[in-house]
Amino acid sequence: MLRFALRRLALALITLVILIFVIFLLTRVFPSDPARQLAGPFAPQERVDELNEQFGLDDPLWQQFGRLLVDVLTLDFGESFSQPGEQVVDLVRPALWKSTQLVLFALVMTIPISIAGGVIAARKKDTLLDRGIVTLGLASASIPEFVSGVLIQYVLGVRLGWFPAIATPPDDAGFLTTLDYLFLPALAIVTVYFGYIARITRAGTITALDSDYSRTAFMKGMTTTAVVRKHVLRNSLQPTVAVTGTQIGYLFGGLVGLEIVFNYPGLGRLIFRAATAPDFPLLQAGVITVAVIFMLCTLGADLLIAWMNPRARLNLGGQ
């Protein structure tokens, strides 16, 4: 298991370097010119050249990339272009913490509900309950989270007043108060991911229930609940774990619309602001942060799958 983990970690680091290179290329090769943007459309070329030199944008690409690698290793991305005087790290850190709070809360709500829904749908396959769960899941997953967020915000926050409509807890908010403020945006995330995870869980559970080992367990006299708990879940949840791992990365950086609706200062909104400025240091730092989270989550998912299924260690290159 240790050797498997080390191999996966090495692969993850190599992937991360490649990812950083791709991010670097996108910001340099894609048609945007931050120096021109800052100087203005009719600025003389001398002014643009001055800004390019100031920000090191006219250095050879390999030099710029080297600087970026050093920045990543030292966690020092310099000053923000759009907020002069502010260190990029000081802007990313609080946004990352905010996103972490929201994502964790959303996952704590989503995963148990979705897995339970998928397992129940599988056990009650082809019944009204099964159809209901599948249909509801499909419908809710079709609606973007910022759309469902607006609806949830209006109904539960504004009209009924059950929860705060804006996700801005007071500075001295305790744990439960913070959860109260994060409930609505987290619920919006749940509505989207419930259908997705429940359907994958359902499919995996149905396959596992139809397998030989499940049949044997039933013939031994085990109850359905015991079969599901001891034999089925461990096998049926592997696809769920794999999918959830990749989706967590998206949750960190992709919830721009939701963060705007709830006025939540998360990583997605920060990256969006950096992309539209354009603020290269902030954009790079934000995207790399999301990339690292992606890597860690997929690595975690692989390790969890390997623990759940020893055969996977062999298939994925383990001992």
Partner 1 sequence: MDWKRLDSARESSGPIEVDLIEAYAQGRINRRNFVKRGTIIGLSVPFMGAIIAACGDDDDSSGDTAAPGTETAGTEAPAGTEAPAGSDAPASSGGVIVVANQQGDANSGLDPVNMLDLGTYNVVSQSFEYLVGVGDDGNIADTGLASEWAPNDDATVWTFTLRENATWADGSPVTSADVAATLDRLAEANNAALGGVIDVGSTDSSDPTKAVVTLLQANGNFPVLVSIFNAQSLITPVDYSSGTTLDERPEGSGAWVLDSWDAATFTAKFVRNANWWGGETPLDGIEIRGFADIGTQVTAMQSREVDAIQQFPVIGGEGLLNDANFVVLTPPSANHRQVWFNTQQGQFTDKLVRQAIAWTLDRQQMVDTLWAGRAEIGNDHPVLSSLPFFDDSAVEQRTPDPEMAKQLLADAGVDSITAVCETGDLQEIPQLAAIIQQNAAAAGINLTVNTQSNSTFYGAAWCPGPNDSDESLPCDNAAEFGIVDYGHRPVPDVYFSSALRTGGPWNSSNFANAEFDQLLLDYQGSIDVDSQKAAVSQMQSLLWDEVPACYPYFYNFLGGHDASVTGVKATSLGHTILSGASKS
Residue 69 to residue 67: CA distance in whole angstroms: 5
For partner 1, the closer of residues 91 and 106 by Cβ is 91
Residue 285 to residue 92: CA distance in whole angstroms: 7
Choose among 230, 189, 184, 192: nearest CA to 208. 230
Contact code string over 274-303 relative to partner 1, x by CB under 8 A = --xx--------------------------
Stretch that binds partner 1, among 91-99, 114-122, 187-195, 215-223 (CB under 8 A): 91-99
Size of the site for partner 1 (CB under 8 A): 38
Stretch that binds partner 1, among 79-87, 123-131, 224-232, 296-304 (CB under 8 A): 79-87
Contact code string over 37-76 relative to partner 1, x by CB under 8 A = xxxxxxxx-xx-----------------------------
Contact code string over 166-205 relative to partner 1, x by CB under 8 A = x-x--x----------------------------------
269 lies in the binding site for partner 1 (CB under 8 A)? yes
Q: For the chain, what is the radius of gyration of the CA atoms?
A: 23
Residue 247 to residue 143: CA distance in whole angstroms: 16
Query: CB-based contacts of 287: which residues, under 8 Å, 6+ apart?
Result: 23, 253, 271
Q: Which of 188, 261, 267, 303 binds partner 1 (CB under 8 A)?
A: 261
Stretch that binds partner 1, among 5-13, 100-108, 109-117, 258-266 (CB under 8 A): 258-266
For partner 1, the closer of residues 41 and 60 by Cβ is 41
148 lies in the binding site for partner 1 (CB under 8 A)? no
DSSP secondary structure, 31-100, as one string: S--HHHHHH-TT--HHHHHHHHHHTTTTS-HHHHHHHHHHHHHHT---B-SSSTT-BHHHHHHHHHHHHH
Q: Which of 20, 35, 95, 133 binds partner 1 (CB under 8 A)?
A: 95
Tokens of 72: 């990543």
Distances (CA, A) of 134 to 1, 62, 125, 147, 250: 36, 51, 10, 21, 23
Residue 14 to residue 295: CA distance in whole angstroms: 10
User: Could you tell me if 196 and 106 are in contact, meaning their C-beta atoms sit under 8 angstroms apart?
Assistant: no
Q: Which of 27, 52, 64, 82 binds partner 1 (CB under 8 A)?
A: 82
32 lies in the binding site for partner 1 (CB under 8 A)? no
144 lies in the binding site for partner 1 (CB under 8 A)? no
For partner 1, the closer of residues 60 and 161 by Cβ is 161
- Tokens 């403020």 map to which residue? 181
For partner 1, the closer of residues 111 and 270 by Cβ is 270
User: Could you tell me if 257 and 145 are in contact, meaning their C-beta atoms sit under 8 angstroms apart?
Assistant: yes
Tokens of 157: 């926050």
Choose among 125, 145, 127, 246: nearest CA to 191. 145
Q: Which residues contribute to the site for partner 1 (CB under 8 A)?
A: 37-44, 46-47, 82-86, 91, 94-95, 153-154, 157-158, 161, 164-166, 168, 171, 260-263, 265, 269-270, 273, 276-277
